[in-house]
Each structure stands twice: as structure tokens, then as C-alpha cells.
Amino acid sequence: MQDDARLSLRAIAKRVGVSVPTVSARLATLEHLGVVKAYRAVLDPERLNERSVTLVVKANLQAADQVAADLTKLESVRRVTTARSGWIVVDATVTNREDVDTLLDAVGGIPNVVDCEHYIGVQTVKDEPRALVTDTLTANLICFQCKGPITGEPIKIRMDERDHYLCCPSCERLYVEKYNKMRAGA
């Protein structure tokens, strides 16, 4: 699916050797867990006469998360990745050279930005999906109650024909209480 999201469930089932309902159920689970985030067309900015700009932004360490959040609000910014020690990598797309200056001015106006380097892409020589799908693939589950990552074996409960994953007995208790109140109110 990562290579071609337009594949039918039937084509996927045939390719992996399972039934269509099995593919549908597994896909629904992957969507529910947040592993499959979206289905979209991937447009090539170079074919649209646009330019890719990569920014390497240094922020004050204490404010790096806020700087990253502020960067996501800029219209030309397509992807923001935080790294260690206040470094932030930003992928942006611009339609002309003047837009680069506008982008740099906007980044420079964000509080707690210490430095910013930029690189204008000339040609993309490799563009592969970001996830590496292997036979030993595992996914990090997010607790349905506290929204934190589940480390170790998750607590799995089944309610209303759906699986719910929790990180600890405390979250399980709180989640079941909240779920039962919600069902009673419905």
C-alpha cells in the first residue's frame, strides 16, 4: 500500500495470500492504531516548477518544541522534524526565489530561533516512502487513556467488538470507567 495506495483490497489479498475480509480487518486495525495515517496523491514539486528548501534551524533548547510548533504554521512548510539539542529540520516548498526570502524572514521572526541555514534542492535523486516494511516489523502502540507510548506488553481489552490497548492497570481502570459512562450516556 505504501507503494500504491490505490490497490484494491482484492489485489492486496491476492498478493499476500489472505482473504479480502482479513485484509479489510487488518487495514482497519492499522488505521485505528495510527500506523496508516492517510491515503493521498504524491505530487512532484519539481514537475510543478516549485523548489524544495531544506532548513536546519537551531532553537534555544528549552523552547525547541514551541519553535517547531511555530514552524508548522508557516504555509510553505511541509514537514518539521525535531532532533536533539534544539536542532530542527524543516522541509518547505516555494514557487519562486522571492518566496525563499519571505520564508527565511518568517523563520527569523520566530522567538527563540538562534540560527538558520537553508539549502535549495536542485534535483531529487531518490524519493522513497519513509517507513521500511520488513518481516520483523513492529509498531509502537499508544495508550487509549493517557495517549503515551506503550512499552512492553500492552493490556488489551475487547469492548463492543473492538480491541482497546492500554499501558497499565491504572489506565485500564480509568478507561473502562470513562467508556462505561459514555455508553450509559448514549
State the DSSP string of 22-79: HHHHHHHHHHHHTSS--------GGGGT-EEEEEEEEE-GGGHHHHHHHHHTSTTEEE
CA torsion sign, 172 to 173 to 176 to 179? negative
Where residue 9 sits, what CATH number does that domain have? 1.10.10.10
Q: Are residue 25 and residue 49 in the same domain, yes or no?
A: no
Q: Are residue 54 and residue 27 in the same domain, yes or no?
A: no
Most confident of 62-76, 121-135, 156-170: 62-76
Q: Are residue 99 and residue 162 in the same domain, yes or no?
A: no
Q: Are residue 26 and residue 4 in the same domain, yes or no?
A: yes
Task: With a cut of 90, say whether residue 77 has pLDDT above it.
Answer: yes
Where residue 60 sits, what CATH number does that domain have? 3.30.70.920
Tell me what the mean pLDDT of segment 115-139 comes to: 80
Q: Are residue 116 and residue 82 in the same domain, yes or no?
A: yes
Tell me what the mean pLDDT of segment 169-181 comes to: 93
CA distance 24 to 10: 9
Query: Tell me, what's the pLDDT at 147?
Result: 84
The answer as to whether 75 is a domain residue is: yes
Q: Are residue 96 and residue 33 in the same domain, yes or no?
A: no
Q: Are residue 39 and residue 78 in the same domain, yes or no?
A: no
Q: Are residue 20 and residue 57 in the same domain, yes or no?
A: no
Task: With a cut of 80, say whether residue 126 has pLDDT above it.
Answer: yes
The answer as to whether 64 is a domain residue is: yes
Q: Are residue 67 and residue 18 in the same domain, yes or no?
A: no
The answer as to whether 134 is a domain residue is: no
Contact 165, 150 (CB under 8 A): yes
Query: Tell me, what's the pLDDT at 47?
Result: 82
Q: Are residue 27 and residue 55 in the same domain, yes or no?
A: no
Task: With a cut of 90, say whether residue 10 has pLDDT above it.
Answer: yes
| Residue whose C-alpha is closest to residue 27's, from 17, 14, 13 | 13
Q: Are residue 115 and residue 51 in the same domain, yes or no?
A: yes
The answer as to whether 60 is a domain residue is: yes
Tens-digit pLDDT profile for residues 41-71: 888 888 888 989 999 999 999 999 999 999 9
Tell me the residue range of the domain where 168 lies. Answer: 140-186
Count of domains for the chain: 3
Q: Are residue 105 and residue 148 in the same domain, yes or no?
A: no
The answer as to whether 157 is a domain residue is: yes
